Structure 1
Amino acid sequence: MILNRKMLFLLLGFCILFNSFNGLTMQIKAAATAKLPPNFIFYVPGLKDPKDVKADVEANGFIASDTFNSHFSFINDKTGKKVLKLNTLDGQNDVLTIPLDGTETKLTLIFKAKGAVAPENRAPYGIFWARWQRGEYQSVLRHNSSNQIKGSSGLSRLNPQNIVSDWHDYRLVFDLAADGKAMTATAFIDGEQRHQTANFEKKNGSGNFLQFGENDGSTNGLGRYPYLLLIKDEDVSGKSLKELSQIVGFDLEAAPELIDDADPVSKKPAKKPAGINMTAADASSKDPNYIDPAYIQDGVIDLVKLPYSKNAAQKVTANPKVSSRLLKKAAAIVDPSGADGTYRTIKEAIDAVQPGALIYIRPGTYQEKLRITKPNLSLIGESPANTIIYGYEADYGGIGGNILVEVDLPQSGYFTAENITFYNKGAEWNRTWGNVERRSVALATKNVHGGYLKNCIFLGQQDTMYLRSGRQYFENCYIEGEVDFICGGATVLFDNCHIHSLYYKDGGYITAAAPSDTNGAGFNNGYVFRNCLLTVDPRMNAKNIYLGRGAWNGGSNGAPNPAKVVFINSQLHGQINAKGWTDWDSVSTAAKQFFREYKNTGEGAIPSETETRRFLTEAEYKSTYSSTQKILGFKPKLPY
């Protein structure tokens, strides 16, 4: 074949281009293993051992757990390079640890990452968790299933929601203050600062290292990482990824095209459990002898040993007297059998009656998700031990879809409930099939004025009570949960109630009060706990339970006013943190809220004011908090 001059030039150009590309590829491969600046730690997955991820990271001088290979793996991109994949969808946390010598004053962790969202609710999986441990002190940055970046305290919400579904460039920067203790942690995504916290923590243990992976108890992790670059004691904020690529000899800008790496599919069973006790099939268990750990015998709750917490409800009466007069006033009666003109479900009865009606509920376990919009209804049970509304509502990555019973009145009205247990088992069920969603609201109220709830039990985990707006009175009730389990912006008086903090490894917050919102009725006095008993799971021994944090500005329409929470003449357990209260984030701090205490007792009470725990003054007590009428603006009265 004879080549003309034009074809020769084209062929020559192609050869030059091919050789240049091939040379660049060889250069990057070689440089990735070449000598780096001494303050650079650069990890490219699979270079040391392409078959065993644990051996590979250990060959790079990192520390891996015994379970590392069950949570970290290699996947391939189209060029044959390895990409590190994190998957803790089994609910077990895992990290890789990079040893440090303890002299570092600045760390910058740079990585490219792509995550995924949960198929059940489109909530993101956590895409990173990083902790700098320096001696006794530590600072943390983490991404969670609410699409937030959180530090040791405080949070920043990310938008758009799909940020984890695409490749993005992350820089996590930790700076040590001059005192050698305080740390500032800053997260950048694609060059934009998305979160910063100046807080740090002093916890049990010590050491000098950086950990990366997923270690947030409320979030499952999933992420893919083509590299990890840790730079010590150098400000590289002015260096682009292109410039850093030249230093490490690796293209830090290119996003891998992954092969054979589909996003997770749902493990959620097709149906929710049909009964109050989960079966082996409900719990996705292969154990033929499986028994629900919160098993309820014969439809009756043992008030001395509640089903999930195993705690005793000390303020609730197990066998209250129900008067014949009340039964005569009932506009509808609910009975699981549907016999003698009764309704089988509470919803059927609510739909049938007029506003202001009284509904009597006979003993039974009622699996219902209720939304009540009729004003002035009263739901009266025989006993909280045997009249139980339950469900498995913990389906979404937000609070709104996780509600068991919601009272949302379009116009002001009252709502009454007595002798009923509200039990949201959603978080319990989620845990059995690998979902970590814990928000499980037992009762939510909005625009309820003159609410009266007596001798009731409320069982959930996070956000057990979502009391958004209005004015309500709770008497002789039991409430349990772990994080923010009494939240929202209503004015509420909890009178002689039992408040129990469940076990949660990261501690807990009793309240997450929003700025008080009484829909213009006044009496914006927030949450008031009077003559209450606070108890805690005996496994909690790190004194990391807080009376509250705030303000939760998204929890009401009461902004920009401060959140208000007051504990009066209450018995506080010994695991209350010495600070008492903590921040919601770096803007909505505890110091800006009206958080007060007055004549409390117990190991968690304080004899005198501290910098973070303040008392009500006598003038404040007498003017606003010395009577029910002053707190709520009405005198609670049962409508029968």
Structure 2
Amino acid sequence: MAIYGYTALFLLFHLATAIRIRVDESGSTGNYQKIQDAIDAVPRNNSENVLILIKPGVYKEKIVVPADKPFITLSGSKPGKGKVIITWNESGEIFESPTFTVLASDFMARHLTIQNTYGSGAKAVALRVSADRAAFFGCRILSHQDTLLDDKGRHYYNNCYIQGDTDFICGNAASLFEKCHLHSLSQGTGAITAQHRHSPFEKTGFTFVNCKISGLKSALLGRPWGAYSRVVFALTYMSNVILPQGWDDWGDTSKQRTSYYGEFMCYGPGSSTSRRVNWSHSLTSQEAKSYLTESINGGRSWVRAVLPRFRRASGDLSGHVGGRHP
């Protein structure tokens, strides 16, 4: 069976150019010193692609991309050229604690580290994505509990490193994770996923293709936050961190009938399905086909590549993007 080439899906957005803004926390170059200031400069109801280039550094900010500011791309430096680290320290309600919140559609992030340094023992979200058509490339998303609140919308994660200990990829989005590294900090039965699909009619779920799972001690692949939770792992390396049972019903046996947990051609010491819970699925090639040979979340039509041409921001971004210029 030919595996679907998701990496070939990156399509140019219909606008051929983008406004370019630079952020430098040192203040020596760039238009802004804070990432949030650059986002705030984008006009409401924006209809133009805006690329925010961020120089390496540690940005101690709690960031929100508002719903009325679509078409923003945040980009750090390519690997090996210095890290862009966005960091915050907060716990509490999952929709309030995130270091970074995306509410705007058509958002893209590249080469960013997004972390919540609160530590273990409480909900502490690093990244919340509550918008349609959001894509993340080469990002590091770090916390302990509820690291990535993949809340709603269609999302794509490529070559990302996601770390946590309890339900650290959670929410009810329709998301594809390709070539991502999932690292569990759990010391016992912490779950990697807690997918929140609560109706059989919702076209949501998490699919992991060609990923890698590692960890410190032991972990579950997932447990159902919603009664119709849906998660599939395909062609994924699983270290011995994965417990033999693989999945858990979160103390509610009725969810065994309605959840859908599947694995297809995974490998590694934690991939054996011989002792998996009997309500999970070892997928056949035909059953896995829709996850491997079709765009499960419409990504063919909206995931885009780096735009080919940019123009520097000038003037006030009621007309474009304002701020200080080098």
CA deviation after TM superposition for structure 1 residue 507, in Å: 2.6
SS in 2 for 1:453: strand
Output the CA distance in 2 between the equivalents of 1:339 and 1:529. Answer: 41
Greater helix fraction, Structure 1 or Structure 2: 1
Please give the alpha-carbon distance, in whole angstroms, between the structure 2 residues aligned to 1:594 and 1:503: 23
Counterpart check, 1:564 vs 2:238: no
1:423 is aligned, of 104, 115, 129, to 115
TM superposition shift of 1:632: 1.6
Tell me if the contact between 1:417 and 1:456 (Cα under 8 Å) persists in the aligned partners: yes
Task: Note if 1:391 corresponds to 2:88.
Answer: yes
Kindly report which structure 2 residues correspond to 1:515-554, keeping only aligned pairs within 5 A, or say none.
Answer: 515=197, 524-537=203-216, 540=217, 544-550=218-224, 552-553=225-226
Q: Is the CA contact 1:507–1:545 (under 8 Å) kept in the aligned structure 2?
A: yes
Residues 341 and 600 of structure 1: CA distance in aligned 2, closer, same or farther (over 3 Å): closer
Unaligned runs of 5+ in 2: 1-16, 308-326
Displacement of 1:569: 0.3
Computing the radius of gyration from Cα coordinates, the structure with the larger value is 1
- Indicate conservation of the 8 Å contact 1:609/1:615, yes or no: no
What's 1:469 paired with? 152
| Structure-2 residue corresponding to 1:377 | 72
Q: What do residues 544-586 of structure 1 show as CA deviations (whole Å, max 9, x unaligned)?
A: 4110000x13xxxxxx7x1110000001111312211001232
Q: 2:298 maps to what in 1?
A: 633
Deviations 1:383-417 (A, max 9, x none): 465211001121x2x322221101123xxx21100
Instruction: Give the distance between the partners of 2:193 and 2:243, measured in 1 at CA.
Output: 14
Check the 8 A contact 2:195/2:206 in 1, yes or no: yes
Q: How does 1:244-255 map to 2 (within 5 A)?
A: none
| Alpha-carbon shift at residue 421 of structure 1 (Å) | 0.3
Give the secondary-structure state (helix, strand or coil) at the position aligned to 2:237: coil
1:383–1:419 CA contact under 8 A, matched in 2: yes
In structure 1, distance between residues paired with 2:245 and 2:279: 6
Identity %: 34
- Contact 2:191 / 2:220 at 8 angstroms: preserved in 1? yes
1:403 equivalent to 2:69? Answer no
In the alignment, which residue of structure 1 is the partner of 2:21?
332
Identify the residue that residue 585 of structure 1 maps to in structure 2. 251
Equivalent pair of 2:174/2:205 in contact (CA under 8 Å): yes
The aligned counterpart of 2:141 is 458
The aligned counterpart of 1:138 is: none
3-state SS of the aligned residue for 1:401?
coil
Q: How does 1:240-319 map to 2 (within 5 A)?
A: none
CA contact (8 A) 2:95 2:128 kept: no
Match of 2:323 in 1: none
Equivalent-residue separation in structure 2 for 1:588 and 1:330 (angstroms) = 52
Residue identity matched to 1:584: W
5 Å-filtered alignment, 1:32-51, equals none
3-state SS, counterpart of residue 351 of structure 1 = helix
* Among candidates 406, 427, 447, match of residue 131 of structure 2: 447
Question: TM-score of the superposition, structure 2-length normalised?
Answer: 0.79
Contact 2:77 2:83 in 1 (8 A): yes
* Cα distance in 1 between the residues matched to 2:30 and 2:141: 29
How far 1:598 sits from its partner (Å)? 0.2
Q: CA deviation at 1:503?
A: 3.8
Contact 2:172 2:204 in 1 (8 A): no
1:75-94 matches, cutoff 5 A:
none
Tell me, yes or no, if structure 1 residue 414 matches structure 2 residue 99: no
How many residues align? The count is 279
C-alpha distance in structure 2 between counterparts of 1:483 and 1:607, whole Å:
22
2:288 counterpart of 1:621: yes
Counterpart residue identity of residue 565, structure 1: V
Contact 1:464 1:480 in 2 (8 A): yes
SS of equivalent residue, structure 1 residue 620:
helix
CA distance in 2, matches of 1:591, 1:501: 27
For the residue of structure 2 that corresponds to 1:567, the secondary structure is strand
Provide the C-alpha distance between the structure 1 equivalents of 2:214 and 2:87, rounded to a whole number of angstroms.
24
- TM-score normalised by the chain length of structure 1: 0.41
Give yes or no for the alignment of 1:367 onto 2:33: no
**Counterpart residue type for residue 298 of structure 2:** G
Question: For residue 357 of structure 1, what is the aligned residue in structure 2?
Answer: 50
2:151 and 2:273 map into 1 onto residues whose CA distance is 33
Helix, strand or coil: the match of 1:630? Answer: coil
Which of 599, 616, 626 matches 2:265? 599
Counterpart AA for 1:575: V
Any conservation in 2 of the 1:330–1:357 contact (CA below 8 Å)?
A: yes
Aligned mates of 2:295, 2:195 — CA distance in 1: 20
Amino acid at match of 2:285: E
Corresponding letter in the other structure for 1:364 = G
Q: Is the 8 A contact 1:377 1:416 kept in 2?
A: yes
The one-letter code matched in structure 1 to 2:88 is G
Structure scoring higher RCO (CA < 8 A, sep ≥ 6) equals 2
What secondary structure, in the 3-state scheme, does the structure 1 residue paired with 2:96 have? helix
Q: Does the 8 Å CA contact 2:152/2:171 hold for their aligned counterparts?
A: yes
Give, in whole Å, the separation in 2 of the partners of 1:477 and 1:612.
30
Q: Equivalents in 1 of 2:30, 2:190: separation in Å? A: 46
Counterpart amino acid of 1:418?
R
The 8 Å contact of residues 495 and 532 in structure 1, kept in 2 or not, is answered as yes
8 Å CA contact retained: 1:329, 1:358:
yes
